[in-house]
A = this chain, B = another copy of it.
């Protein structure tokens, strides 16, 4: 235990960072292991365990199918990581990696089921123990993250980890309603979830734009509500099993009574309006809604929910309930009469009536209902789980009322926010911080939500990963694990590793840029791609007309949602304007700006050859102009020259606006430089 500091540096070469981990030994504080999520407790040991061809992984004592398949997957990923054949010897291997599980897990994975594990890595062996297979699965992933290539070959550092999650509900939602996501897209993302210890796959399975699930009782749901792309019941069973093997529950969502246009194409008798209905092919909030006033509606839903409840063994069943504009209800005299007759003063009351009826149907099929904020009413049964898209206030209201909640506000990964912003959203911060311990216990966790207006199976991985790993850490690791720099360092490592699971978040941007470039990606196109990103929030819909079949094959679809280069440049600029930069850092900033300033001259001649690249003409031009302004400001700063930059600030404000559905992420940094230079005056 003498040389921890140098051990860690030696193994991982990490930049020093704060103490992040509860119980970690102080001597190693500067270099946390590149784990994500960081474990609850970790004590470094002495030396390292060699990962080589002699590895023998053995399940001792209790075993079952989930452990066996978990071991197989573990060996497969370890092979991807090392290239060393760690299975398939002709002779039995000697066990130096032992898995001991106390006993079976629940037949259907429970919310709150024990997920803890203990991982002991020494020079000579590995011991992984857990109360049930869930902990083992998590521990195996931790080990995979420990493995590193060193001058001595692949090793894992000696360490003892005692780990368990902070929250029992750590979810990822994928929207298969707006763009159909083929099964391989779903399964590889389940692999990614396992890698970062997420345990709930929330499958948003119907929306105005599509009903991609096979119903045998109501075959027109998929028959007329999809374009022929839907999940068969067999496929759904396979996905559920695939998830279970990875310690992941599958919570299906069938959004109602609104977001239901696709239902009404085949079953207009459910509708509040006159129809006829066609599948929506635009984005946004639509008017069509299920009619809550007819008994036939509930007869249909009872049978439908019963059928779906049979497909999804999880105890929870999500009925959506968000974003009713009520227009069809307002326009239907029969519905208005029903509301008057029942003393309902507004559409919220009508929806509340609907939700209460549906909740009874869900409960009748032995499921616990979940819904978005809107389903919460004073008389909502206490077991109903509220998923909060509206935010901490709504969350606190639900919790105080006695309901349990899952936070999604702040975790909308479709909105192209930086990982740091998601990372710092804590389900128990803000209004959540004012809750009593008993109330806090009702905050189950959170969910990253991947709405699919602007993604297809081709680029969805690059929207989900790696940023979702930061959310996974928020939900698993201790509350005080909040260092953004450390997070980004480890996120880069985990992003690389996630490729071993077949995720395409790093390969698909390259693939799509090659398409735009008509072959290999020319260097100047890469330079541009590294500093632009799709606009944040809900701006995109207003920038261009998008519908269901709009090709998502443009630059904005290809580049990742967070520019790593711009983030690093920004960090550099912050040091410079704070007056703390070294000569090397000044030079580095200058080199970047020169690269960008000179890039346009190289890129422009290439853009004309490609229909998909032509829109980049002004984007590229403005990047160069921005960089030129930045260089001037940098010069003025370095030489303490007063500078009048009013014109520059105007130009930068213009350049900050999206073009070709792209934001130039260098602009904010250059604005900082210009402001700093101006202040010198």
Chain B residues with CB below 8 A from A13, complex form: 609
User: Per-position contact with B for A512-543: 1 when CB-CB < 8 Å, else 0?
Assistant: 10111011100000000000000000000000
Chain A residues with a Cβ under 8 A of chain B: 13, 53, 81-85, 88-90, 148-154, 180, 227-229, 278-279, 281, 456, 458, 492-493, 496, 499, 507, 511-512, 514-516, 518-520, 548-549, 551-553, 557, 608-612, 614
Q: Is the CB of A493 within 8 A of B519?
A: yes
Task: Contacts A84-B553, A496-B519 known; list 10 others, CB within 8 Å.
Answer: A13-B609, A81-B515, A82-B553, A83-B515, A84-B551, A88-B227, A88-B229, A90-B278, A151-B614, A496-B514
Contact of A611 with B150 in the complex, beta carbons under 8 Å: yes
A227 touches B551 (CB 8 A): no
Expressed in whole angstroms, the minimum distance between the Cβ of A328 and any Cβ of chain B is: 21
A610 to B151, CA, bound (A): 5
Nearest B residue (CB) for A265: B90
Contact present for B279 and A90 (CB under 8 Å) = yes
A458–B82 alpha-carbon span in the complex (Å): 12
Residue of B nearest to A153 (CB): B611
Closest CB in chain B relative to A229 CB, distance in Å: 6
A502: min CB distance to chain B, Å: 10
Distance of A543 from chain B, by nearest CB (Å): 18
Residue numbers in B under 8 Å from A89 (CB-CB):
227, 549
A519 and B490 CA atoms in complex are apart in Å by: 12
A353 CB to closest chain B CB (Å) equals 33
| Min C-beta distance of A284 to chain B, whole Å | 17
User: Measured between alpha carbons, how far is A538 from B89 in the docked complex, in Å?
Assistant: 26
Residue of B150, B227, B549 near A53 (CB, 8 A) is: B549
7 A-B interface contacts by CB (under 8 A) = A13-B609, A81-B515, A84-B553, A90-B227, A149-B515, A150-B609, A151-B614
Contact across chains for B608 and A551 when beta carbons are under 8 A apart: no
CB distance from A323 to the nearest CB of B (A): 22
Residues of the B chain whose Cβ atoms lie less than 8 Å from the Cβ of A549:
53, 85, 88-89
- Copy count, this protein chain: 2
| Nearest CB of B to A606, in Å | 11
Q: Of all chain B residues, which has the CB nearest A52?
A: B551
Given contacts A83-B515, A227-B88, A551-B53, contact A520 B499 (CB under 8 A): no
Interchain CB contact under 8 A, B496 and A520: yes
* Assembly CA distance A609 to B153 (angstroms): 10
6 A-B pairs with the lowest CB-CB distances in the bound complex, closest first: A83-B553, A153-B611, A88-B227, A84-B551, A149-B518, A85-B549
Chain B residues within an 8 Å CB radius of A614: 151
A81 → chain B closest CB, angstroms:
7
Closest to A81 in B: B515
**Which residues of B are found within 8 Å of A610, using beta-carbon distances?**
149-151
CA distance A507 to B499 in the complex (A): 11
Are the CB atoms of B515 and A82 closer together than 8 Å?
Answer: yes
* Minimum distance in angstroms from A336 CB to a CB of chain B: 32
Chain B positions within 8 Å of A228 at CB level: 88
Instruction: Report A130 CB to chain B, min CB distance, Å.
Output: 26
A647: min CB distance to chain B, Å: 34
A558 to chain B, nearest CB (A): 9
Smallest beta-carbon distance A482→chain B, Å: 25
A511 contacts across to B, CB distance below 8 A: 499
User: Min CB distance, A539 to chain B, in Å?
Assistant: 22
Which B residues are CB-close (under 8 A) to A153? 611
Q: Report Cα–Cα, A152/B610, bound state, in Å.
A: 8
B151 touches A551 (CB 8 A): no
Tell me the smallest distance from the CB of A333 to a CB of chain B, in Å. Answer: 31
Residue of B nearest to A493 (CB): B519
Q: How far is the CB of A547 from chain B (nearest CB, A)?
A: 10
Q: For residue A512, give the distance in angstroms from its CB to the closest CB of chain B.
A: 7
CA distance A379 to B233 in the complex (A): 59
Which B residue sits closest to A495, measured CB to CB?
B519
CA distance A445 to B507 in the complex (A): 37
Q: Cβ of A83 and Cβ of B551 under 8 Å apart?
A: yes
Nearest CB in chain B to that of A155: its residue = B611
> How far does the alpha carbon of A281 sit from the alpha carbon of B611 in the complex, in Å?
54
Assess the B151–A609 pair: CB atoms within 8 A: yes
Distance in Å from the Cβ of A584 to the closest Cβ of chain B?
17
